[in-house]
Amino acid sequence: MSNVTLSILDATGKSMASNTSVPASGSYGPIALASGTGPFRLAACGYAVDRYTCLYSVTQSGGTAQITPLTSAVVLLASGVNPSSPMSGAVTGLSATAVAAAQGQLQTALAPALADAGLASNADLLTTALTAGSRSGYDRLLDSVAVTVGQDGSPYVQLESRMGGGIVTLTGTGVGGELTIDAGAAGVTLAGISTLFTQMTAAMASASACSANMPGLMAPNARMNLANIAFTGADIGAGLCNVIGTGIFSDGTYKYGTKLLAPQLGRCDFSGSTPVCRVSMVAQTPAGALLTFAQNQSVAWQGNGTWLFYGDAQPFPTSAEVRVQRLRRVDGGAQVDSYLRSIGVGISTLSGALCARVTQADPNGGDVTLAYMKPGTGSTNLSIWTVDAVNGQLSGDPTTGAIRGNDDRWIPLPDGSDGDALVRNFAVGHSLKVALYSDDSCSTPASTFSLDLAAVPPLSTALASQPWPSLATASATALAGLKGAAAAKVNLSASWTLPSPPPALSTAQLCTDSLCNTGSILATLPVAPGALTAALSATLGSTALDASSFKQLRLNARNGDGLLLQADFQSCTTAAPGSACAVSLPLRQGMRVQNRRRAR
């Protein structure tokens, strides 16, 4: 984590420390707590790669308190309070007895991971020594297990092994599931992963440094697709230098001087002769914006503490992420909100696949089909297979249907309880299974692989409580009144406020349709994570923009769990007051039709 601030409350809710800056080392103190009464609650909030998150901990009377995802799990299980509000009011349920019981649950569930990290089976997660960034001991434990907290009627904690298999769900009353650590993890040290990213960042400082050093940081069998060109081995390094030097956005925000943030570890594969671990690949531009450089990337173990960049975890580019959209009409009158949930699956057509089936596991071990995907004419990625090219209804028959648009990778989840049932399936594992077929009827799979999800879709009751930005009234008025003749230049100065804890912003977009499809995007501007303003400029094409035209300002961000949030502020003055703006047909209608089909 970076840019971390610390807050402490005593048992009554009295503040002992508030938004105190923590050094980059992660260590802080001592703090005098003599005036308060325990138990004391602690919160550390800051940026974890490309998202803003808060972690929590507790101490009964002082001493050393670690604050990690696992101490957040202790607080949640011991208190039973909503995961978003452990720092509200007087203390609840954090007695020494309750905390010890919560630790016991976690220690039992974590037994294989504790042993792998060289920690005792009864290691105190609140006080055991931790060196942040060392990727050894307690820090290795945090690398090897993904921790998710949530609420479904009552709070729960999910632990998922990154260095083996299995997922465990814990509530205040029980534990379900089991974690495993692969035998191949023994002897594989993780500290060199951070060293590799430090070396890659140093290479990105200048053209000469990049060409001299980046190729040597690539694994011999590395593979990566850049700008639809497949590179291997050291050639990937030269390709990366070219991408960085030319800039990815039109304003050149990816240029020399961009740095890669210390990566978060994903799932590791020990099945081959060379262990490979997936890693986040987030870049911070010279202007401070945090942008995902590439998805589903990995590093390869070389032995003797050394890791090299491996590139695409699959033989071809793939990705998976979860998105929630809030569509808010802001052109005057009553504010109207609606929400959409979807899962984005990117599968490059370089694979040669003519059909793909995307599934998730259900609690009974079966496969639930989320969508079929097929290539379009000239498309670079497989697209969702629908009943026809106009209707958004997902086709359940791979032999009958059409694609609704090239590179259309977002699979909509139904509204309400039908969508919630699919969300709850992720309790089995936070991943998707993709089967690829060499024939377009999806008859016999040529290969299968899994795609990890950084976040799980929220339940329908949690959609409104995501950390959504709020657009200033003057900016909403400016959006509604934005107009210009064909080929004219238009400008929008927007400002907004962020909740606490805030999401981590990445870009602002000005669009002329609700999907922000390529042809409708007037402007895209990278913004720093905590930005509160953006000045967007665009030159219109052959079509004029009127005050009555549909316009949308989209703020892209991630919440603390890594969920992609799209806050869409819309103006559609021709629509009836109090009604939502019309959403582009394929996405919205598809969700409605899918709900009706499931209801029958």
Q: Each residue of 125-155: pLDDT tens digit?
A: 999 999 988 999 999 999 999 999 988 888 8
**CATH number of the domain located at residue range(s) 470-588 in this protein:** 2.60.40
CATH value of 191-312 in 3.40.50.740, 3.40.630.10, 3.10.450.50, 3.40.50.300: 3.10.450.50
Cα separation, 51 vs 467, whole angstroms: 12
pLDDT digits (tens, 9 = 90+) for 399-432: 999 998 788 899 999 999 999 999 999 988 899 9
Does 95 score more than 80 pLDDT?
yes
Looking at the chain, the whole-number percentage of residues with pLDDT higher than 70 is 96
Higher pLDDT residue, 217 or 513? 217
Predicted TM-score (pTM) of this structure: 0.86
Rounded to whole angstroms, the Cα distance separating 317 from 104 reads 41
- The per-residue pLDDT for range 543-583, each reduced to its tens digit, is 999 999 999 999 999 998 889 999 999 999 989 888 898 77
Angle at 137 between CA 131 and CA 142, to 5 degrees: 80
The pLDDT tens digits of the residues spanning 343-356 come to: 999 998 877 889 99
| pLDDT number for residue 370 | 96
pLDDT of amino acid 230 = 87
pLDDT of residue 373: 96
pLDDT at 391 over 80: no
| pLDDT attached to residue 311 | 95
Angle separating helix axes 416-424 and 585-599, nearest 10 degrees = 80
Tell me what pLDDT residue 247 has.
Answer: 65
Which pLDDT score is estimated for 423?
95
| The predicted structure's pLDDT at residue 242 | 86
Joined together, the tokens standing for residue 282 give: 């987030």
Domain definitions of the chain by residue range: 2-173, 191-312, 340-454, 470-588
Q: Residues 193-239: pLDDT tens digits? A: 999 999 999 999 999 999 999 999 999 999 998 877 889 999 999 99
Confidence category of residue 254, pLDDT binned at 50, 70, 90: low
17 token code pair: 């420390």
Q: What share of the chain is helix, strand, coil (3-state, %, to 5)?
A: 20, 35, 45
The per-residue pLDDT for range 448-499, each reduced to its tens digit, is 999 999 899 999 999 999 999 999 999 999 999 999 999 999 999 999 999 9
